[in-house]
Amino acid sequence: MRCDHNNHGFTFIEIISVLVILAIVGAVIIGKGVSPTPGLVANTNTLKAHLRYAQSMAMGKNSPDDIFGIRCDASDYWLFQGNDPDAGIIMLPDDNTFNTGGDNKLDLAAKGISIAAFTVFFDQKGIPYAAYTDTTSNTPLSADLTLAVTPAGAGSPTESVTVTQHTGFVP
């Protein structure tokens, strides 16, 4: 007796194996397309560190009139001391992407990022302000300051940086 089996088709194990491989490949492709570039993440983390640095510099001073802040004009950003963001510019620590003007402003194009213009001041207690004249005349942030950091010349992906309204916390 001869047993001739015509096996046409795939086994259940073969089908499951192919589906698992396709799922892994699809997840990798989708993950690469949606996730921000490593440079964008690094530059966003640098901005967060600079905001924290400005806050810690203000908190380390004995006089309530010693305030620090960060200002961005959409092409550069910089650390400043005092209530005039365009005067008292101080070099940011551990960064070498300053613009060619020699004015200690960090060049956003050299970093490959884009940020909308903003100014934030920090007082001796680390509280953030939108404007600061003196200890009695200033404008606190009306809400959390959220900054969108995007690659230069592109709208997405976007990373965000938030300065918490009452505490100045930068998560």
Q: Which of 60-64, 126-130, 140-144 shows the lowest mean pLDDT across its residues? A: 60-64
- Whole-prediction pTM: 0.75
pLDDT recorded at residue 94: 64
Distance, CA of 92 to CA of 60 (rounded, Å): 16
Could you tell me the two tokens for 35? 């996730």
> What b/e sequence results for 65-103 when a residue is b if at least 16 CB atoms lie within 10 Å of its CB, and e otherwise?
eebbbbbbbeebbbbbbbbebeeebeebeeeeebbeeee
pLDDT digits (tens, 9 = 90+) for 27-76: 887 766 655 577 888 889 999 999 999 999 999 887 767 899 999 999 99
pLDDT digits (tens, 9 = 90+) for 73-99: 999 999 999 889 988 888 887 666 655
Which is more confident, 105 or 95?
105
CB 111 within 8 Å of CB 99: no
